[in-house]
Structure 1
Amino acid sequence: MATEHGIPKLRIVEPSFDSPLTSVIIDLEKLRDNRLDSKTHPGIFFQIKHIFQLLESLGSARIEGNNTTIAELVEKEISGSRNDDEIIGDDEINEIRNAERAMDFIESRIKNNSKIDQAFILNLHKIVVE
């Protein structure tokens, strides 16, 4: 594989038109134009979104060997010990919080139509390993 400065060059996948992947890509592109309308109150929507992001962060941390349970995470959330800017002594909880912060970072950059470039990736990495 060709490299630049010791980093492998990425190549763009070019699936054939009869590939199932092509239809999935086309379907995803169509979804970009859909406006999301909902009868769900925005406050409830964002609470549910937060819960799912929390579960996603927990799942990501568990892949890395983190043994924190949902119960422990919820206990930290409701005990008032949650402060996004505070790094507490519990490395496993911090790992989950870092994943949450990384998702928030990605979301904020996507809203601003930021490029996914080297600076973006470096900032994302810094957040995750903080």
Structure 2
Amino acid sequence: MNKLPLIIATVGLLSAASWVSAQVANISTTAASSFNALNLTTTMQNASPTTSFSNDGYTMLVIKTGASAVSATLKTQAQSISQNGYGTTALSDIPLAIPANSVVLAGPFPQARWNTSQGTVNVTITPTVAGVSVSAVSQAQ
């Protein structure tokens, strides 16, 4: 069975605002118990073109755009996945088109597919524009 990360886009609800595998997380991961969904700005950080975050397998990525639309690419680390009775399925990066003035929630990210050897998930964001922010939220069991 091919499982894709949950991707939810909220358009207009809130206003404004090549990868090296040795990359360490450049945004912090917040525990869901301290995450306030009604005030995203408290945990959001400025996005960089090569964003990465620590992943425990239950982590969700929040991307908030401002006046400009952006593209994000979730970088897979596994080439394929095999499941008894289902065979082998090739895996690839997942591109996201994020409209202006939107909030997108992506994840969770199963570690076998997404984690680098440092335990991070890599995401590229283009173009580099002001007003794009990100947050990683762990909803660990």
TM category (shorter chain) comes to under 0.3
| Larger strand share, 1 or 2 | 2
* Length-normalised TM-score, structure 1: 0.22
* Larger RCO, structure (CA 8 Å, separation 6 or more): 2
| Larger helix share, 1 or 2 | 1
* Length-normalised TM-score, structure 2: 0.21
